[in-house]
Chain A
């Protein structure tokens, strides 16, 4: 065997190994939460809010946290989207190439992406104190939207950046202005990428515990207003795992299973949507 062949073989083996490792990790996580959580899994887990003494092993479920997490991550995703879409459209359609503002914004977003979520939690908490806001759905939504904003913006930016300038020129040459070109051509061409960005941001938002710990609070009730405190799945898992009772700890794994299933459902739905819109993309 010559050197090239040996190199090829080594790298092939490395790649296959990495793939297998990822698959095994995923499988182990799923197995752990299913095996440990399944005994505690029943209909009341997802249909009831905690009754008195739930954390001591008595009746109830985590409907409060399921609904709370959906509200919170959903609200944060919408808020982050409203802010990030104009940013990326500005980058592509309005800003000059090599614009200093664009380069600086991209750099800032990359830095923000790396900031740990507990820092966002602390920052959100400070802001809320300043405005006299107590831990609430609104506080949580704002904090989580700050957390996922850089992820969503950069993920959308990367797909929109790839759109050939000629496609925009085609629209301009028909007499379209920039805003029409941005929404009718750029957004449509980047739709699968935008959906992916929304999906990963939502996944990050619904799974994060540290950012909501101080800002969203925790409650056994389902919030009825933006100013109510709200329970979230990651915190519910945390509290249940922290009890000394094995049967409550099992419920933590069941909750983790529910969280994973929510993310799975959203992944599948968005894959379906992405596939639907990909066929229109101009290569």
Chain B
């Protein structure tokens, strides 16, 4: 089967117990663009995002049917190597969760897990991705102090650097600015815009203005159903579905 994109979802259904969180979702996520998944709370945005790297499997009593292809490989197949697939994606969660170790060790965690032990190379990696996350100048003198001491905004950028250090193709953001102050949010948004040239970026957001600022492509979910998706310009300026129109105007939320 020919797949054009990194991530391709086909007939995805997700159940939490008896509750259906996603209903028959099929979509191709465009490469090297920012895709925003929007929709009201509880519509399944995060579930869709987490099914891309199979983190929903850590939630108990979840049932999944359908397929999610990552580089042509169905990740919900039993024999799929989850750890290798997850390595292809960096994840930013709502609240940043740095690991309980130093700044340096946070960024080096992924590479070390994947077998990199050369100190010089690790230092180079840490520097490279801290620069890419726009943190190097702030932190270069205290790389060995605990990550827990950083501000929330810095922590989120550190999480970005940590994710980039495993050289993913895809970056997933689950409302990545919702815990941040406006300045830190702006930092993160700028990073996303800079990164989209090299990475496929998918963010979940409930902030419409953020979606407008960032997204090239928009996916609108409502109550677990995929209502509409398309280039951002079309969705925002000329939505086809009544529900999308109402959401964008702010009638439903």
Contact = CB atoms under 8 A, between A and B. Distances in A.
A184 interface: yes
Given A280-B146, A280-B148, A283-B148, A172 B86 contact: yes
B114 A175 contact: yes
Interface stretch (A67-75, A161-169, A212-220): A161-169
Interface in B46-84: 53, 55, 58, 60, 83-84
Contact of A282 (B58, B60, B98, B110): B98
B83 A177 contact: yes
A185 B166 CA distance: 17
Contacts of A164: 97
B149 interface: yes
A174 B60 contact: no
A180 B86 CA distance: 14
A174 B53 contact: no
B114 to A, nearest CB: 6
Interface string A147-176: 000000000000000001111111111111
Contacts of A98: 60
A279 B149 contact: yes
Contacts of A185: 99-100
Contacts of A83: none
A165 B87 contact: no
Interface in B70-119: 83-84, 86-87, 89-91, 93, 95, 97-102, 109-110, 113-114
* Size category of the binding interface on chain B: 20 to 34
Nearest to A169: B55
Given A169-B93, A279-B146, A281-B148, A174 B87 contact: yes
Contact of B58 (A169, A175, A184, A189): A169
B180 interface: no
A164 B102 CA distance: 19
B97 A170 contact: yes
A12 interface: no
A175 B60 contact: no
A171 B113 CA distance: 10
Contacts of B87: 174-175
A171 B84 CA distance: 13
Interface in B177-228: none
B39 interface: no
A172 B55 contact: yes
A67 B113 CA distance: 42
Contacts of A167: 97, 99-100
Nearest to A99: B60
Contact of A279 (B90, B91, B148): B148
A171 B86 CA distance: 10
Contacts of A191: 100
B147 interface: yes
Contacts of B44: none
Contacts of B162: 170, 174
A166 B97 contact: yes
B95 A166 contact: yes
| In the complex, the 3 A-B pairs of residues with the closest C-beta atoms, listed nearest first | A175-B87, A173-B91, A174-B110
25 contacts: A98-B60, A164-B97, A166-B97, A170-B93, A170-B97, A170-B159, A171-B99, A171-B109, A172-B58, A172-B83, A173-B53, A173-B90, A173-B91, A174-B87, A174-B113, A174-B163, A175-B83, A177-B83, A188-B100, A188-B101, A279-B149, A282-B97, A282-B100, A282-B147, A283-B148
